[in-house]
Structure 1
């Protein structure tokens, strides 16, 4: 192993090196799907609203002047306020299989957090759990689906050797779509209909799209406000993220449940949110959505035959009206009856102790096929 050094990112050249690290680390890994460099770079621009309530420090590891590793230490004041605890975040970690370099990167991140007064480090979390988070801990024998993390297995060894301990696991479920759902889901749909619940797909144009997104934000915030390690998002932040996904939505697999009898303006009481597995196309883009990348994406997009279910969300008071079962039934029905149909779906990710969601997912016949992990390390 050649000599190495760890440098804080302070120049545009070092920022370019930071963005280039993953392509070097995964250059021989056939399963890795490169994230769009522009989307990663955007998170470190002054336009990112994170800098209104947080701060961070990027580090790059160099071996004989080749960037071979990176890490970010971050402080999210919203998370600290919510947990009433001085917890700092570690994220964007990538490193070649050289333990001494990985250890040095982790040490630089935790030392920075300690200097900022943090007493606990948690990660990997890229600024918040609304972004990329978790290390893949089991299930390395298949490609990651869209917006899901992927990493070499040796990352877990690096973390544990550095004194990090498991904080929480999350699961991804695999559901082949060659068989219908159990009858209980269709019965749930009929019960919801008799209770007066109506169902439709999301609107994707103009003011109707914006209104749907605002209502989804309200519902999402209500239903998931107590999620572990989650920090609040403003409506403006949520809307910005929604606009980034607007052109990617397949309305056949995005179902909204409404209660017309509800007195408030927002009659939305549940939704089933899924996306086509765009990783099948993005794998050929190699992180650069230039003209050539766009053409490759459009060509390979035609081959997408699987989808990822990102969220199944219903208000708790509508559980007896079987809204959760109903939206799952309609979402899966929409995916299997389209032409061509989706052949499989991934339902991800769900925390290991979220038994309400896990029970619904497991009742579909889905089985755990990947495990993800978030670690913590005491800094005192």
Structure 2
């Protein structure tokens, strides 16, 4: 993050840049103040947030630059925002688009407006002509503003918001770019007969297996290749870099066992995969983001002894060559079914599949055919900074 000396004052509201560790600590803690009266809020681990925003740790910063700001009233932080420019996105799309993210603030239009204008100015000064968001920090991390489904807590690595957020963002001139859904499904679902017939028809060609932990790095590279191929034509796609996916893999290895990462092979070729993980937010609920002095013991007990009731499927992909064939839905179903069996054995009661693009009719139909319901909606907004762009 570049040193930024611009401090914006608007009456009693001040917008200050995040330039050092002390500023970053204030920035990370803003959501706990904004959501303090929200029963659905679960504070993320402060250590995890510091690592996420560390330019030395998060591989995202190998191809992106960012700046963050805090809104103050007196000596109280009342809001925050970040702005990002992702060189990998610009290489992929060549669309002069930058991003805002990490937006949380009090229910005050001035606060939202000044934060957003500050982020926009930083982006425009660097040649950006269109802004999208929120992204925390990229499309491959937390994406979108919660616009429906406020009454239940977010699962791990999904964002949360209050109902007034969308109103204030829209008053700043932002319009919907795309919606995504989070689906919830009971793991004891019954497969529709048509799906069972598709599975049976391809049984001689398809083999589903768990990840091989003895070849973990090689397997993680394989999953990345499948994901980048599977998602290449989807809205806003930016490929995972090798460093990003291996950083994700290190976290997964700590959190999940081999049976929760399943790979489908067609005639010996890796064709699809799925990753499921326990909902860490259940394990950290009530810790207020702190692992010390006893938070880490509570978290480990909740993860290892009293396994979370909910899980999340954050990654799922079927190679494009199979997507529009009879094998496509069968492959997606079979890897989901494989992790379902393991989750049932662990006592999981509900599984979230997220996020799913609103126009991904094929995947939505599969999920809905096995009883999934869209229970949260997330929106990505955009605004042109240049009228004739």
Task: Give the TM-score taking structure 2 as reference length.
Answer: 0.89
- Using the alignment, how far apart are the partners of 1:325 and 1:56 within structure 2? 39
- Corresponding residue to 2:289 among 257, 268, 287: 287
Which of 2, 16, 21 aligns to 1:7? It is 16
Aligned residue pairs: how many?
A: 370
**Counterpart selection for 2:215 from 208, 211, 218:** 208
| Whole-angstrom distance in 1 between the partners of 2:126 and 2:247 | 30
Counterparts in 2 of 1:229-244, with a 5 A limit? Answer: 229-244=236-251
Please report how far the alpha carbon of residue 148 of structure 1 lies from its aligned counterpart in structure 2 after TM superposition. Answer: 1.1
2:196 maps to what in 1? 186
Corresponding residue to 1:147 among 133, 157, 163: 157
SS of equivalent to 1:222: helix
Q: What displacement does 1:104 show?
A: 0.8
Residues 298 and 284 (structure 1 numbering): CA distance in 2 closer, same or farther, change over 3 Å? Answer: farther
Q: Measured at CA, do residues 330 and 52 of structure 1 come closer, stay the same or move farther in structure 2, by a change above 3 Å?
A: closer
Structure 1 residues 11 and 255: alpha-carbon distance in aligned structure 2, compared to 1, 3 A threshold: closer
Q: Distance in 1 between matches of 2:196 and 2:48?
A: 39
| Aligned equivalent of 2:271, options 269, 272, 277 | 269
Distance 1:40 1:137 in 2: 23
Partner Cα distance (2:23, 2:343) in 1:
44
In 2, Cα distance between equivalents of 1:53 and 1:312: 24
3-state SS in 2 of match to 1:233:
coil
- Structure 2: distance between partners of 1:298 and 1:65: 36
Q: Of the candidates 299, 303, 318, which is equivalent to residue 297 of structure 1?
A: 299
Matched, 1:34 2:43: yes
Q: Which runs of 5+ in 1 are unaligned?
A: none
Closer/same/farther in 2, CA of residues 316 and 209 from structure 1, 3 Å limit: same
- How far does residue 126 in structure 1 lie from its aligned partner after superposition? 2.0
Pairwise CA distance, 1:316: 3.5
Q: Deviations over 1:75-102 (max 9, x none)?
A: 1111112111110100011111222111
State the secondary structure of the residue aligned to 1:360. Answer: helix
Shift of the 2–65 alpha-carbon distance from structure 1 to 2, 3 Å rule, reads: farther
CA pair 79-201 structure 1, distance change in 2 beyond 3 A: same
CA drift of 1:178 comes to: 4.5
Unmatched 5+ residue regions in structure 2?
1-9
User: Partner residue of 2:365?
Assistant: 359
Alpha-carbon distance in structure 2 between the residues aligned to 1:201 and 1:63: 52
Which position in structure 1 is the counterpart of 2:93? Answer: 83
Contact 2:227 / 2:319 at 8 angstroms: preserved in 1? no
What pairs with 1:155-170 in structure 2 (closer than 5 Å)? 155-170=165-180
> Which residue in the other structure is 1:334 paired with?
342
Residue of structure 2 equivalent to 1:128: 138
Which deviates more, 356-365 or 84-93? 356-365
**Residue 54 of structure 2 aligns with which residue?**
45
Q: Which residue of 25, 50, 56 corresponds with 2:34?
A: 25
Matched, 1:308 2:308: no
Partner Cα distance (2:321, 2:238) in 1: 24
Is 1:60 matched up with 2:66? no
Query: d(CA) in 2 for partners of 1:256 and 1:290?
Result: 37
For 1:216-236, what per-residue CA distance to the aligned partner results, in whole angstroms no more than 9, with x for missing partners? 011111111222223223212
**Residue aligning to 1:71:** 81
Give the Cα–Cα distance (whole angstroms) in 1 for the partners of residues 252 and 292 of structure 2: 18
Contact (CA 8 Å) 1:9, 1:59: kept in 2 or not?
yes
Structure 1 contact 188–323 (Cα < 8 Å) conserved: no
For 1:95-153, what per-residue CA distance to the aligned partner results, in whole angstroms no more than 9, with x for missing partners? 11222111111111111111111110000012311111111010112111121111111
Question: Which residue in 1 is equivalent to 2:124?
Answer: 114
Distance of aligned partners of 1:178 and 1:6 in 2 relative to their CA distance in 1, 3 Å threshold = same
Q: Using a 3 Å threshold, how does the CA distance of structure 1 residues 156 and 167 change in structure 2: closer, same or farther?
A: same
